[in-house]
Structure formats: C-alpha cells, structure tokens
C-alpha cells in the first residue's frame, strides 16, 4: 500500500493532522494501536487556547465546541485561605480560553474523519518504521492478523510519549531533556455542577495543590496533588471530596456540590522535550516530542500548534514544491514549546507543595503569589502565557 503521509497515532495530534491534510488535498493514512473506544475513554485536560479554538474551526470541527464549550475570561488563585481573581481577558486585550474536554475534541475529529471516508486502521501491533532517513520511508505492522506494509513520502510520529516514532531516531541524533516532580495528580470526574463555572480555580494550600475545573455546566473535573505512591483504591469519593474542601477557601468549599465519581485516576507529572523533531522523513508532533506537567493545560494546545505548523509545511511541499517550512519545522516548533515548558514548570513550581522545600523556599512561593496578585505587570505575564503565545514566535 502507498500513501503520501503516514500518520502514526490517532490521538488529537494525529487526527487533527489528518483533517488539515485532507483539507489541503494531501492523502494520509492513520494507524493506531488501540481501539476507537479505548482512545475515547482516556480523560485528559480540557482547556483550549484561542489559537486552538481557531484551528479547530479552520479544520471544520468547531460546531459542537462553539455550542458546548464554556468561555473563561479569568482564573482564580487560592492561597493563604483567600481567593484572587486574575482577569486574563482584561490583561490580554480580550483573549480567553475555552473549557471543552479533550475527549470531545477527539470525538469530533474522529467523526469528521469517518464522515469524510478517510482511512484509519485501529488495533495495529508490531509496528516497525523503516528507511526513515531516506525519501522512501515505509512501515510494517500487523492488523486483523495480517502483516501489512505501507510506503509513504513522509511519516508523522503522532504516537504520544510511549510511541515507536521517537524511539526510531538514532541515539546520537536525539537529545532528551527531562524533569520529574515528586508528586502526582489525582483527578476525578463527576456529574455535578462545577463549583466555579466562570473561572478555573488553582489552589496552593498547606495540604498541597488543588484544581477546580469543568467539562460542562453539569460535569466537573477536580484534582488534588497526591504522593506518587498513592493508589486509587486508597481514595474513595468521600475522602476525595473532603481533601478537596480542605484545600479551598471557605467560600468555595461551602459551595462545592459533591456526588458520585464517574472516573478517578492518578497521573505523574513530567516535563520532557526531545530535539530535533525531524529526522529524515520522520516528523514528530505532540506528546511524541514533548510533555508538560498539566498545570496550565498546555499539552493539547502545544500538540495543536505543532500540527498546524506541520500541516502547512507539508502543504508548501506538495503545493509549491518548497521545503523551507519543513526544514525549519523543528526549530520553529521548539521555540514555542520551550516557552510553554517554562510556563508549565513555573506554574507547577508556584502552586504545589514540594516535600523537600525549606522555610525559605516556602516564603519565596508565598511572596511570588502575593506579587502576582498585586502587580498588573506580574499578572499580565501569567495571563499572556495562560491564553497561549502566538503560533509563530
Ligand atoms: N502504533 C500506533 N499507535 C500508537 C503507537 C504505535 N506503536 N504507540 C502509541 N500509539 C497511539 C496511542 O495509542 C495514542 O492513541 O498514539 C496515540 C497518541 O495519542 P496521545 O497520547 O493522546 O498524544 P497526542 O495525540 O500527541 O495528544 C497530545 O494528549 O496526552 C495528551 O497532554 C497531552 O493533551 C495532550 C495531547
Ligand atoms: C482540566 O480541566 O482537566 C484542567 C484544567 C486546567 C489545568 C489542567 C487540567 O491546568
């Protein structure tokens, strides 16, 4: 079999790339290890920057987002028992973020792909990537018990952090940067009205970080910082709600509406960047190339920005025969990625309790929070990063 662009992975990166390439008249085949239901069962963050919202509209998958997404004009920071509003829209000339779950983005993209009759193969295994350093790369994999081979002009590695693409780049070419954090996030989803439908709440309390977010006006998403070795069985719903309440200001805690959880999971936090994002005919995008800790919800947004740059670079190649945008894809993407890495690392450092922080470190955190909520200059720095930096920096 032959295709122009072989996309590995049907997460948000692979699906959005497939959609943008189809619009540009470029053939692509997507291969995915899991089943569609499995992909839709993964609960991840749900805050979209304006750039991402615009891109989803441009890709023709923005109708449900426009109706069901909730626009947030600000965020709230809780510390020392007090809640402080950061007027993100006011500080950025009206820019906002939209609450709309990654699961829904994925569902919309999957539906658009199948409605357009575009090819995807789910449930592939034993994938190997071959001749990536040539202009005739090809892959071999198993699907439905049959071994298949596909040749392509280019391969897009959209297969997430544990995928096969990055692992195919020789060790002497690839440089990886990583930071892990000494805690995880315990997340819970419940069909209860969000405690704060207008703004996401980030809380730094003596018992650790907490976050109040939402998926819709009837579905809430909450998180609490927890030790990395905690097990999900240790956290029944009552314990979760009680812990969350303790970490919020009194007013928010008193308004919290609790109910049965519909999903609970613990995730470690990691910062990670792989350079370069291109090797020969292979281009990495999304989690395959970089991970941010979830504080600030940059993961999906970064993936969307990569894919936008990659789709237009490939379109320049097929439409105009120009390789410049492809040749600079890695460098241009990494410029934005490192800035988002910095922001996610900084917000994580500011809002969490680190087990080994001394009294001085603690005071520094408190002073920085006080500065942020009393200086327009400091709050603007937070706001402009929160809504997302421009696509090309
Ligand atoms: N063969 C085929 N598919 C694979 C393989 C493989 N060897 N390895 C992984 N995959 C698939 C995974 O099953 C997954 O569906 O690649 C997909 C990668 O999807 P994501 O992990 O969602 O990564 P990405 O599409 O880049 O999305 C980035 O997701 O993890 C969040 O915070 C992140 O929001 C960000 C977004
Ligand atoms: C979420 O809604 O899941 C969410 C929101 C904001 C974050 C992280 C996650 O910073």
Query: Which DSSP string do the residues of 301-345 spell out, in sequence order?
Result: HHHHHHHHHHHHHHHHHHHH---HHHHTHHHHHHHHHHHHHHHHH
* Residues that are catalytic: 72, 202, 294, 298, 386
The pLDDT score that the predictor gives to residue 186 is 98
User: CA-to-CA distance for 51 and 308, rounded, in angstroms?
Assistant: 10
Where in the chain does DSSP place strands (E)? 2-8, 28-32, 47-49, 70-72, 74-79, 82-86, 97-99, 120-122, 125-130, 138-143, 146-157, 175-190, 199-205, 208-216, 219-226, 261-275, 278-279, 282-284, 290-291
For the residues 209-232, what does the mean pLDDT come to?
96
Taking 90 as the threshold, does the pLDDT of residue 44 lie above it?
no
The pLDDT score that the predictor gives to residue 393 is 74
> 45: pLDDT confidence band, cut at 50, 70 and 90?
confident
The pLDDT score that the predictor gives to residue 121 is 98
The pLDDT score that the predictor gives to residue 42 is 87
Rounded to 5 degrees, φ, ψ at 51 are -60, -40
Are 274 and 131 a contacting pair, CB within 8 Å?
no
Are 89 and 96 a contacting pair, CB within 8 Å?
yes
Taking 90 as the threshold, does the pLDDT of residue 392 lie above it?
no
CA of 160 to the centre of ligand 1 (A): 4
For the residues 259-277, what does the mean pLDDT come to?
97
The pLDDT score that the predictor gives to residue 289 is 98
> 279: pLDDT confidence band, cut at 50, 70 and 90?
very high
CA of 158 to the centre of ligand 1 (A): 6
CA triplet 190, 40, 217: central angle to 5 degrees? 35
Does the CB atom of residue 78 touch ligand 1 within 6 A?
Answer: no
At residue 29, the 3 state secondary structure works out as: strand
User: CA-to-CA distance for 314 and 326, rounded, in angstroms?
Assistant: 7
Does the CB atom of residue 49 touch ligand 1 within 6 A?
Answer: no
Mean pLDDT estimate for the chain: 97
pLDDT tens digits, 309-337 = 999 999 999 999 999 999 999 999 999 99
Domains of the chain: 2-49+101-179+270-351 (3.50.50.60), 183-268+355-368 (3.30.9.10)
The region that residue 260 occupies, defined by phi over 0 for left and psi between -120 and 50 for alpha, beta otherwise, is beta
Ligand nearest to the CA of 7: 1
For the residues 259-269, what does the mean pLDDT come to?
96
Pocket lining for ligand 2, CB < 6 angstroms: 45-47, 200, 211, 213, 221, 294-297
pLDDT tens digits, 332-384 = 999 999 999 999 999 999 999 999 999 999 999 999 999 999 999 999 999 99
> 255: pLDDT confidence band, cut at 50, 70 and 90?
very high
CA of 54 to the centre of ligand 2 (A): 19
The pLDDT score that the predictor gives to residue 127 is 97
For the residues 256-260, what does the mean pLDDT come to?
98
Looking at the CA of residue 161, tell me the nearest atom of ligand 1: 21
Does the CB atom of residue 299 touch ligand 1 within 6 A?
Answer: yes
pLDDT tens digits, 294-309 = 999 999 999 999 999 9
- In percent, how much of the chain has pLDDT > 70? 100
The pLDDT score that the predictor gives to residue 201 is 98
pTM for the model:
0.97
Which residue, among 334, 335, 332, 367, has the nearest Cα to 350 in the 3D structure? 367
Does the CB atom of residue 157 touch ligand 1 within 6 A?
Answer: no
> 81: pLDDT confidence band, cut at 50, 70 and 90?
very high
CA of 393 to the centre of ligand 2 (A): 25
Taking 80 as the threshold, does the pLDDT of residue 387 lie above it?
yes
Does the CB atom of residue 298 touch ligand 1 within 6 A?
Answer: no
Residue with the smallest CA separation from ligand 2 atom 3 is: 45
- Computed over its alpha carbons, how large is the radius of gyration of the chain? 21
For the residues 46-61, what does the mean pLDDT come to?
96
């Amino acid at each position: 079999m032959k295709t122009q662009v072989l996309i590995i992975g049907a997460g948000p990166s692979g699906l959005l790339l497939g959609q943008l390439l189809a619009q540009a008249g470029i053939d692509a085949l997507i291969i995915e290890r899991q089943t569609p239901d499995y992909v839709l069962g993964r609960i991840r963050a749900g805050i979209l920057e304006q750039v991402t919202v615009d891109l989803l509209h441009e890709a023709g998958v923005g109708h449900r987002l426009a109706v069901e997404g909730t626009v947030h004009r600000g965020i709230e920071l809780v510390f020392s028992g007090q809640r402080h509003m950061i007027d993100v829209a006011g500080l950025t000339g009206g820019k906002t973020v939209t609450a709309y779950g990654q699961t829904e983005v994925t569902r919309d993209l999957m539906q658009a792909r199948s409605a357009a009759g575009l090819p995807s193969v789910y449930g592939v295994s034993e994938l190997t990537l071959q001749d990536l350093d040539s202009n005739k790369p090809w892959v071999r994999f198993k699907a439905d018990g049959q071994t298949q081979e596909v040749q392509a002009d280019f391969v897009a590695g959209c297969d997430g952090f544990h995928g096969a693409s990055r692992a195919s780049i020789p060790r002497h070419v690839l440089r990886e940067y990583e930071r892990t954090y000494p805690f995880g996030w315990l997340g819970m989803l419940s069909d209860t009205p969000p405690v704060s439908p207008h703004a996401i709440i980030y809380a730094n309390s003596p018992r650790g970080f907490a976050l109040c977010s939402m998926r819709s006006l009837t579905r809430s998403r909450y998180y609490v910082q927890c030790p990395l070795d905690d097990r999900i069985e240790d956290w029944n719903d009552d314990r979760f709600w009680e812990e969350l309440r303790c970490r919020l200001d009194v007013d928010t805690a008193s308004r919290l509406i609790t109910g049965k959880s519909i999903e609970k999971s613990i995730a470690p936090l990691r910062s990670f960047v792989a350079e370069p994002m291109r090797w020969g005919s292979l281009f990495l995008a999304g989690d395959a190339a970089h991970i941010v800790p979830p504080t600030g919800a940059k993961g999906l947004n970064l993936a969307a920005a990569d894919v936008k740059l990659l789709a237009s670079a490939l379109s320049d190649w097929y439409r105009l025969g120009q390789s410049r945008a492809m040749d600079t894809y890695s460098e241009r993407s990494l410029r934005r990625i490192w800035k988002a890495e910095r922001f996610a690392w900084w917000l994580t450092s500011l809002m969490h309790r680190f087990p080994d922080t001394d009294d001085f470190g603690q005071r520094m955190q408190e002073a920085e929070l006080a500065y942020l909520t009393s200086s327009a200059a400091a709050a603007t720095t937070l706001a402009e990063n929160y809504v997302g930096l421009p696509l090309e920096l």
